[in-house]
Structure 1
Amino acid sequence: MRILITNDDGINAPGLVALESIAHALTDDVWVVAPETDQSGLAHSLTLHDPLRVRDIDGRRFAVRGTPTDCVIMAVKELMPEPPDLVLSGVNAGANMADDVTYSGTVAAAIEGTLLGIPSIALSQAYSWADGGEIPFGTAEALAPDLIRKVVAGGIPKATLVNINFPDRAPDRIAGVEVTRQGTSTHGLKAEARLDSRRKPYYWLAYARADNALVPGTDNHAIAQGRVSITPLRLDMTDDSGLARLSALF
């Protein structure tokens, strides 16, 4: 099995090191094509107005000056001799669940793999600033290989990707694995106003903690309960009930 791994945190991210370890537990045929710099929050964006620069690190490891989506396209269409059998994206520093999947470059790379007809899985590791911001990538490293084997053996339908989130716990404290649906959340983003040296205003978008009602059966509820969350996500975002309602109007 040939595996392509990528991420949105960049070619030097610790989570990518963890993902390489996970991929090598599954096969020796591992290719790395990841962004040159941190591309978090860029979602499913493409670089259309600038050239893509590629740095060949060792023949099977490339850094692309572009987005996670660019990386998957470049890997499949240009850098790899044959398309991969599986795309793994991550391991992201922080959970990607509920409404945050719409912002996530990690999930977006798996979306692009899915669009190209390749089974794709996004992996993210939750962590807490209350613990000093240490990210327990060892949890994902320990648990992901067996989970990926089961998911791949069971088959990933076309136009579907799999989103796996690991809770902020050591591997021996995991409360189980739950197949979930995508939850909802209040992202809590806010604009922080600041002044530059010439007293002109500028802004940083920043997260603020938001209280969310956690619904059993959803990804964010499973993570809060200390369970690994596995969520199938469809590319078809059609609202079937809305389709019927609008059809009746027109």
Structure 2
Amino acid sequence: MRILLTNDDGVDAPGLAVLREIAHVLSDDVWVVAPAANQSGTGHRFTFGYEIELDERERRVFALDGTPADCVVAGCTHVLRDKKPDLVLSGVNRGQNLGDILHCSGTAAGAREGALQGAIGIALSQAMDYSIGHDEIKWDCAVAHGVETVRAILELKGAVDTYFNVNFPMCTPEQVSGIRMVQHQRFAHSPFELYPSDNAGKHFVTILETPKPLDPRADFHILHEENAITVTPLLLQQTNLELLERFDGRLPFNGMARGQG
């Protein structure tokens, strides 16, 4: 199995080192194409219209001055153009990727682009408590259960047009209650807000608090309250097929040209 690794925290991030350990248990054909610098929150953005540099840091490890989506394209169509990867793993992200936050996640975008390129795409994140500082994170759960979780996903049958989002809980490996297949949390409204900086006239886009209520069946609750590893299968096909079928692809149209009547 040929495996391509990427992330959004950057090629030197400790989470990528954890992901490399996981991948090397699964295969000896492991490659890395990751951003040269932090690309958190970039979503599925591509670097259009600008030159980007691909730097070979060591054997089978490349840094690209672009986004996670750029990295997966570079890996699939350039670095591994002779034989595309069977599996694209993105992460292990520093901090959880839950609910509607998936829409801006560069980690999720790496897995999504992997699936779009024809591989199995899996995004992995290690939960942390942001209230006690951005450097306080323990990777134990991801290290202990990463291989088992990826293998469980690889054994799923019939997952067509799908990529996967995985979160490891904030607990010891022994406290993990299992692996749960769950939906992602749909928040009542976007969790993002504009927050004023201490510098006059400057602001941050941030998440000040999690919108409530939370669905007890969804990833946010099950990760934090039940200490389960959450796996969310996500579709590449984003069309509302129920609505499309209900209207048979047609909306009311009277054929009247603009300015008439």
TM-score by length of 2: 0.88
Q: CA deviation at 1:52?
A: 1.3
Deviation beyond 6 Å, 4+ runs, structure 1: none
In the TM superposition, 1:44-55 aligns within 5 A as 44-55=44-55
Deviations 1:160-209 (A, max 9, x none): 0011111111111112221101211355322233476xx6x232222212
Q: CA RMSD in A?
A: 1.8
The CA distance in 2 between the partners of 1:105 and 1:156, in whole Å, is 26
Match runs of 1:121-200 below 5 Å: 121-133=122-134, 134-155=136-157, 157-185=159-187, 186-194=189-197
* Counterpart amino acid of residue 136 in structure 1: K
Query: For residues 156 and 109 of structure 1, what CA distance do their matches in structure 2 show?
Result: 21
* Structure 1 unmatched runs, 5+: none
Distance 1:174 1:131, change over 3 A: farther
1:20-31 matches, within 5 Å, as 20-31=20-31
- After superposition, the Cα gap between the structure-2 partners of 1:187 and 1:85, relative to the gap in structure 1 and judged at 3 Å, is same
- Alignment partners' CA distance in 2, 1:111 and 1:210: 25
The amino acid that maps onto 2:85 is P
- Letter of the 1:106 counterpart: T
Alpha-carbon separation, structure 2, partners of 1:11 and 1:105: 13
Partner of 2:257: none
Segments of 5+ residues of structure 2 without an aligned counterpart are 253-261
Tell me the CA shift for residue 51 of structure 1. Answer: 0.6
Equivalent runs, 1:193-208 vs 2, <5 Å: 193-194=196-197, 201-208=201-208
In the alignment, what sits opposite 1:5?
Answer: 5
Q: Which amino acid aligns with 1:189?
A: F
User: Aligned partners of 1:227, 1:194: CA distance in 2, in Å?
Assistant: 36
Aligned to 2:90: 89
Letter in 2 for 1:37: A
Whether the 8 Å contact between 2:149 and 2:179 is mirrored in structure 1 is no
The letter for the 2-side match of 1:142 is: A
Structure with greater Cα Rg:
2
Displacement of 1:108 in angstroms is 0.4
Of stretches 127-136 and 226-235 in structure 1, the one that deviates more from structure 2 is 127-136
Number of aligned residues: 247
Cα deviation, 1:80-132, whole Å, max 9, x if unaligned, reads 24211110000011111210110000000111111111111110111103444
Paired AA for residue 62 in structure 1 = F
